[in-house]
């Protein structure tokens, strides 16, 4: 009997070439057309195709990608393929897949629905967590690979990297994880997968796969944190490039992208007027700064919470109040946005005290900034009712509070079940913003694939000259004209005429 994984009804190891929601001609056409339009708005990726298409620097690369399966990601995937790579892909979030993008990639530029010729994708919007981890395993499985897996990983949040490391560590120790010791439902699923893989494949599956992986390029703050922690502990199995902290990623994606996409998501989800509302943004890093700009751009009365005195002082210098969540609850704020990258920011207890129909959402990476597990536990006890308004928009109606209509229970509106609101309730960042992020990713993949031996088992930020190159590739789109230094001027400030123009310590 074929072994299936948990309640997915899917074989743990399948021979499926892809699994997406909809392979209809209409969906394929929609995906391909949007990819065509997006490429025009992604000059960095278009330039890399032109520069490296002939030399094929990724020939021989087997890249497993775990990153939101959007139209912009589809353009990234086909850029990697154009540079010589083989690619298999999953989304890194159960709600972020744009199904027409997934279908478009599978069909490919020269294929048809009946005879798809693109890259394998395992992703659809609205996966369960068990399906999500099943998809991750399918993308790591590599037919025809001598090691059974990829030789490069492109990660967002570190889930693919995590699975390889955990599997490898348990095989090396000769142990199986204790599912009962898991701290969350998702961790139970991950640990169960490691157990099931061992039973199906023996004790050398990850041991064979991991050493062949030349490196990982990591997209986001949480995944980078995980990598640095492994480097400090001496448990990192292969080199990593920290794409997130390239200036042209962190500023474009985290700051300018969130400035565009946060209110887009809130308005698509709720249709409420944001102007005049009181909004709290938890965290004032780059994501928080972009989120504040987004809300203030709609004339919301915006405040922030912070733990970092420097970020807090920056907020003060912009005329933004720095308060606590408790202050916001006492002042009946209307909108709460988490943007910290940490956990347990808005608790279930906080949500019992919010004003009626307050909107709660997250634009940080994971789903535990908002205590969704606490809400679910309250629902099991009958203290709150979860009511779907539409997909990824839920009313949580409290039974025992007294500050709702007519002195009865109040409600709150939770978006995207606490996961990334801009991808769960909208379409994420615009193409031009993601062009900068994904140009960084492509350059990082080329660098690691060609020169992994030069890095050791370390985490490295993409060099400054490549960061500046990414910016250069996007200036023509804005009609920008750079001033050129004379030899004398360059000598005076101690930089090369052609850059890099700033030291690594410079803060943009």
- Other C-beta atoms closer than 10 Å to the C-beta of 25 total 12
* Complete DSSP assignment for 406-434: GGS--EEEEEGGGSBHHHHSS--S-HHHH
Beta carbons of 211 and 149 less than 8 angstroms apart: no
Q: Which two tokens stand for residue 337?
A: 């946005």
Nearest-angstrom CA–CA distance, 183 and 185: 7
Q: Is 218 marked active-site?
A: no
Q: What is the pLDDT of residues 314-323, one digit of tens each?
A: 999 999 999 9
In the block, residue with structure tokens 């023996």: 202
Nearest-angstrom CA–CA distance, 171 and 194: 10
- pTM reported for the whole predicted model: 0.94
Which of 298, 295, 332, 341 lies closest to 315 in space, CA to CA? 295
- Other C-beta atoms closer than 10 Å to the C-beta of 391 total 13
pLDDT of residue 221: 87
- Other C-beta atoms closer than 10 Å to the C-beta of 202 total 11
Beta bridge partners of residue 218, listed in sequence order: 155, 242
Active site residue: 98, 151, 244, 435, which one?
Answer: 244
Nearest-angstrom CA–CA distance, 501 and 191: 47
Confidence of residue 463 (pLDDT cuts 50, 70, 90): confident
Q: What is the pLDDT of residues 369-397, one digit of tens each?
A: 999 999 999 999 999 999 999 999 999 99
Active site residue: 47, 66, 72, 91, which one?
Answer: 91
Nearest-angstrom CA–CA distance, 165 and 171: 10
Q: What is the pLDDT of residues 1-25, one digit of tens each?
A: 578 999 999 999 998 999 999 999 9
Q: What is the pLDDT of residues 117-142, one digit of tens each?
A: 999 999 999 999 999 999 999 999 99
Active site residue: 218, 253, 367, 467, which one?
Answer: 253
Q: Is 474 marked active-site?
A: no
Beta carbons of 144 and 115 less than 8 angstroms apart: no
Q: Is 91 marked active-site?
A: yes
Q: What is the mean pLDDT of residues 62-76?
A: 98
Q: Which two tokens stand for residue 256?
A: 């300018």
Sheet strands side by side (includes 321-322): 321-322, 301-305, 278-282, 335-338, 358-362, 411-415, 393-398, 384-390
Confidence of residue 310 (pLDDT cuts 50, 70, 90): very high
Active site residue: 131, 156, 159, 467, which one?
Answer: 156
Nearest-angstrom CA–CA distance, 398 and 394: 13
Q: What is the mean pLDDT of residues 46-52?
A: 97
Q: Is 68 marked active-site?
A: yes
Q: Is 246 marked active-site?
A: no
Beta bridge partners of residue 213, listed in sequence order: none
Active site residue: 219, 369, 371, 467, which one?
Answer: 219
Nearest-angstrom CA–CA distance, 130 and 194: 13
Q: Which two tokens stand for residue 359?
A: 């909107």
The Cα-based distances of 244 to 220, 360, 379, 407, 419 in angstroms read 5, 26, 37, 47, 19
Q: Phi-psi bin for 382: left (phi > 0), alpha (psi -120 to 50), beta?
A: left
Q: Is 271 marked active-site?
A: no
Nearest-angstrom CA–CA distance, 12 and 26: 31
- CB-based burial of residue 342 (10 Å sphere; 0-12 exposed, 13-18 middle, 19+ buried)? middle
Would you say residue 105 has pLDDT above 90?
yes
Beta carbons of 160 and 64 less than 8 angstroms apart: yes
Nearest-angstrom CA–CA distance, 184 and 180: 10
Q: Is 253 marked active-site?
A: yes
* Complete DSSP assignment for 212-237: G--EEEE-SHHHHHHHHHHHHHT---
- Strand, coil or helix: 280: strand
Beta bridge partners of residue 4, listed in sequence order: 11
Active site residue: 258, 311, 361, 425, which one?
Answer: 258
Nearest-angstrom CA–CA distance, 119 and 104: 9
Active site residue: 429, 440, 467, 469, which one?
Answer: 429
Nearest-angstrom CA–CA distance, 237 and 215: 9
pLDDT of residue 1: 59
Mean pLDDT over each residue of the chain, to the nearest integer: 96
Q: Quickly list H helices, 95-220.
A: 99-107, 129-140, 159-173, 185-201, 205-209
Q: Is 244 marked active-site?
A: yes
Sheet strands side by side (includes 459-461): 121-122, 86-90, 62-66, 152-155, 215-218, 240-242, 459-461
Q: Is 96 marked active-site?
A: yes
Active site residue: 119, 151, 246, 441, which one?
Answer: 441
- Other C-beta atoms closer than 10 Å to the C-beta of 277 total 19
Would you say residue 150 has pLDDT above 90?
yes
Nearest-angstrom CA–CA distance, 437 and 51: 18
Active site residue: 72, 294, 362, 437, which one?
Answer: 437
Active site residue: 72, 96, 151, 261, which one?
Answer: 96
Nearest-angstrom CA–CA distance, 5 and 131: 8
pLDDT of residue 366: 76
Q: Is 225 marked active-site?
A: no
Q: Is 437 marked active-site?
A: yes
Cis, bond preceding 334 (omega within 30 deg of 0): no
Cβ contacts of 454 within 8 Å, gap of 6 or more: none
Active site residue: 100, 365, 469, 474, which one?
Answer: 365
Q: What is the mean pLDDT of residues 323-350?
A: 97
Nearest-angstrom CA–CA distance, 58 and 119: 15
Beta carbons of 377 and 184 less than 8 angstroms apart: no
Q: Is 311 marked active-site?
A: no
Continuous segment of H or E residues that includes residue 488: helix 487-493
Active site residue: 254, 368, 392, 440, which one?
Answer: 254
- Other C-beta atoms closer than 10 Å to the C-beta of 148 total 17
Q: pLDDT exceeding 90 applies to what percent of the chain?
A: 95
Q: Is 441 marked active-site?
A: yes
pLDDT of residue 504: 85
Q: What is the mean pLDDT of residues 352-380?
A: 95
């Amino acid at each position: 009997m074929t072994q299936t994984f948990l309640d997915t009804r899917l074989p743990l190891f399948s021979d499926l070439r892809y699994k997406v929601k909809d392979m209809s001609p209409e969906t394929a056409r929609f995906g391909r057309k949007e990819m065509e339009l997006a490429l025009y708005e992604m000059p960095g990726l278009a330039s890399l195709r032109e520069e490296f298409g002939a030399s094929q620097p990724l020939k021989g690369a087997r890249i497993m990608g775990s990153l939101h399966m959007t139209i912009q990601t589809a353009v990234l995937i086909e850029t990697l393929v154009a540079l010589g790579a083989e690619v298999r892909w999953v989304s890194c979030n159960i709600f972020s897949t744009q199904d027409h993008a997934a279908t478009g990639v599978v069909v490919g530029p020269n294929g048809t629905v009946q005879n798809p010729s693109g890259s394998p994708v395992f992703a659809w919007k609205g996966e369960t967590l068990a399906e999500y981890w099943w998809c991750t395993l399918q993308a790591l499985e590599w037919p025809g690979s001598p090691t059974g897996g990829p030789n490069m990983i492109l990660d967002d949040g570190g889930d693919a990297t995590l699975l390889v490391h955990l599997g490898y560590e348990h095989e090396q120790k000769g142990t199986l994880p204790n599912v009962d010791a898991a701290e969350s439902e998702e961790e139970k699923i991950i640990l169960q997968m490691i157990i099931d893989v061992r039973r199906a494949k023996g004790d050398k599956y990850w041991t064979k796969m991991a050493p062949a992986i030349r490196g990982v390029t990591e997209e986001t703050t949480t995944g980078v944190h995980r990598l640095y922690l492994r480097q400090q502990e001496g448990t990192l199995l292969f080199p990593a490039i920290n794409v997130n902290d390239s200036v042209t990623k962190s500023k474009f994606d985290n700051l300018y992208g969130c400035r565009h996409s946060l209110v887009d998501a809130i308005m698509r989800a709720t249709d409420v007027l944001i102007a005049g509302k009181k909004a709290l943004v938890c965290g004032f890093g780059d994501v928080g700064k972009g989120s504040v700009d987004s809300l203030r751009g709609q004339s919301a009365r915006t405040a922030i919470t912070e733990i970092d005195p420097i970020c807090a002082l920056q907020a003060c210098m912009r005329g933004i109040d720095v308060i606590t969540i408790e202050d916001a609850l006492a002042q009946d704020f209307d909108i709460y946005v988490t943007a910290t990258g940490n956990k347990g920011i808005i608790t279930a207890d906080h949500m019992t005290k919010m004003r009626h129909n307050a909107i709660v959402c997250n634009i940080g990476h994971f789903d535990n900034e908002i205590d969704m597990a606490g809400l679910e536990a309250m629902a099991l006890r009958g203290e709150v009712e979860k009511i779907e308004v539409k997909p990824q928009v839920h009313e949580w109606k409290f039974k025992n509070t007294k500050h709702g209509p007519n002195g009865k229970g109040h409600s709150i509106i939770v978006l995207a079940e606490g996961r990334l609101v801009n991808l769960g309730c909208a379409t994420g960042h615009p193409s031009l913003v993601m062009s900068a992020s994904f140009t960084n990713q492509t350059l990082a993949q080329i660098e690691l694939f060609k020169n992994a031996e030069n890095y050791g088992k370390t985490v490295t930020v993409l060099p400054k000259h490549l960061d500046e190159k990414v910016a250069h590739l996007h200036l023509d789109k804005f009609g920008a004209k750079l001033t050129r230094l004379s030899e004398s001027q360059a000598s005076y400030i101690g930089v090369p005429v052609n850059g890099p123009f700033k030291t690594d310590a410079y803060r943009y």
